[in-house]
Amino acid sequence: MDLPLVVFCCVYAVMILGRVPGFGLDRTGACFVGAVALLAGGSLSPQQAWHAIDFGTIGLLLGMMLVSEQLRQSGFYAVVVRRLAARPARPERLLLALVLVAGGLSALLTNDVVCLAVAPVLVAVCTALRLDPVPFLLGLAGAANVGSAATLIGNPQNMLIGQQKALPFGGYLADGAVPAAAGLVVVWFVLARAYRGRWERDLPVATGHDQPFDRVRTAKTLLVLGALVAGMLVSDLPREVQALAAGALLLLSRATRSQTVFAHVDWQLLVLFAGLFVCNDAFARAGHAASTFTWLQQLGLDVADPTTLFATSVVGSNVVSNVPLTMLLLPAATHPLAGPILALATTLAGNLLLVGSIANLIVVEAAERLSVRPQARGWANEHWRTGVPITLATLAIAAGWLWLRHRVLA
């Protein structure tokens, strides 16, 4: 039996389905079981499996999670949302402020953490103002996805791409910032038009469970975050080392126990990454990756071509999910623009379907816990109405900007 091929097919089938039918095994569990099966079956030695895991990506993810969690526990996100809502403004203007702030925060902090922290507070604010939370929640998810495309630390797949392709932080910023900024305007415009005249809604006021605002902790974390971003722009020290150093520095506190911070780290995501690294490495060592890409080239699907890579990234992200797809495509994506294309396409494609991004699911789960649902249809259909135009417009902007910057302005 060709164990690497069997494990690879099984793991990526679970990536598509979300879990193993009839079992409680989800995507992370499948990656872990697959990696262990490869070790137990002798397809990889423990040393080979260890070296297959990209420490740079795991370290960068962990470091940024620690920084983001410090801001969440300090009450920073809740204060930001409540101060936005405290200023008298029409719903359209409140939505615009939310989109810009959520997008900006997601560019520097993990977008999933931003959604996790902001969604419950946003529901409480909207219900208190007798506004329908649905368009604002969709705006939060859309802005988090689009804003995170601006930098190499905005989301997990961008971190992976930046590490694997050794992209300079400032160099990618020039590729990603403009499409992300324009994309935030698109998110606002589409939602503002879709919900024009339908902003008000009476719902039971949601009781917020905000973290108490800690000014000192917030100021300390923002200072460290600013230094981290500056260091990534100008320092030659590896980004993962800088991120881990920032996370470690923030753990040095008399008031906060480190275990309360580590308890909220997304260990599931880190295990998923590690398991995928091992499964993909065994698949490549067995020669299957090279033969698969050769076969696809013969069919006219050469991911070394930028147009094909862009289209494959968009479609594949909504089938397999963006992180597994990125890992799969990176070895064959050899075009000089492969890094920016993968980062922008896989991230912006997350707004197409509700299941296309973890950020979308986090927002919907938070709303469901607080008994907030769309008035006329389910979440998937409600998201589809605005997600499709947002995705098509932002992808067109990204493609146009990359072409302009590297063909016309070069």
Nearest residue to 358 via CA among 317, 410, 330: 317
Phi, psi angle pair for 9, to nearest 5°: -65, -40
Average pLDDT in the 371-400 region? Answer: 92
What are the structure tokens assigned to 264, written together? 């909220």
Nearest residue to 402 via CA among 339, 323, 326, 331: 339
DSSP string covering 346-362: HHHGGGTSGGG-HHHHH
Q: Which amino acid is at 356?
A: G
Nearest residue to 266 via CA among 113, 74, 392, 136: 113
Average pLDDT in the 226-251 region? Answer: 95
What 8-state DSSP symbol labels residue 407? I
Average pLDDT in the 169-180 region? Answer: 95
Q: What is the pTM of this model?
A: 0.89
What are the structure tokens assigned to 227, written together? 């230094």
pLDDT for residue 147: 97
Provide the β-strand partners of residue 272.
Answer: none
Question: How many whole angstroms separate alpha carbon 148 and alpha carbon 135?
Answer: 20
Which helix (H) or strand (E) element contains residue 319?
none
Q: Quote the percentage of the chain above a pLDDT of 90.
A: 64
pLDDT for residue 208: 57
Residue 409 exposure: Cα atoms within 13 Å on the Cβ side: 9
Question: How many whole angstroms separate alpha carbon 361 and alpha carbon 364?
Answer: 5
Task: Judge whether 175 and 399 are in contact, CB under 8 Å.
Answer: no
pLDDT for residue 53: 94
Domain interval for residue 44: 3-408
Total structural domains within the chain: 1
**Cα 305 versus chain centre, distance:** 25
- Per-residue pLDDT band at 410 (split at 50, 70, 90): low
Average pLDDT in the 379-394 region? Answer: 94
- Per-residue pLDDT band at 173 (split at 50, 70, 90): very high
Task: Judge whether 186 and 398 are in contact, CB under 8 Å.
Answer: no
pLDDT for residue 361: 86
pLDDT for residue 409: 60
Question: How many whole angstroms separate alpha carbon 142 and alpha carbon 144?
Answer: 5
Model confidence pLDDT, tens digit, residues 239-283: 999 999 999 999 998 888 899 999 988 898 899 999 999 999 999
What are the structure tokens assigned to 187, written together? 């998110």
Q: Quote the percentage of the chain above a pLDDT of 70.
A: 98
pLDDT for residue 207: 65
Angle separating helix axes 322-329 and 338-348, nearest 10 degrees:
160
- Per-residue pLDDT band at 209 (split at 50, 70, 90): low
Average pLDDT in the 113-125 region? Answer: 90
- Per-residue pLDDT band at 384 (split at 50, 70, 90): very high
Provide the β-strand partners of residue 19.
Answer: 26
pLDDT for residue 17: 84
Question: How many whole angstroms separate alpha carbon 152 and alpha carbon 82?
Answer: 29
Question: Is residue 1 scored above 80 in pLDDT?
Answer: no
What are the structure tokens assigned to 397, written together? 């902007």
Question: How many whole angstroms separate alpha carbon 190 and alpha carbon 351?
Answer: 12
- Per-residue pLDDT band at 357 (split at 50, 70, 90): confident
Mean pLDDT, the chain, whole residue set: 91
**Cα 135 versus chain centre, distance:** 20
Average pLDDT in the 390-394 region? Answer: 97
Question: Is residue 356 scored above 90 in pLDDT?
Answer: no
What are the structure tokens assigned to 403, written together? 């072409």
Average pLDDT in the 352-371 region? Answer: 87
Question: How many whole angstroms separate alpha carbon 287 and alpha carbon 93?
Answer: 55
Average pLDDT in the 137-161 region? Answer: 95
Question: How many whole angstroms separate alpha carbon 149 and alpha carbon 339?
Answer: 12
Most confident stretch, 54-58, 99-103, 314-318, 350-354? 99-103
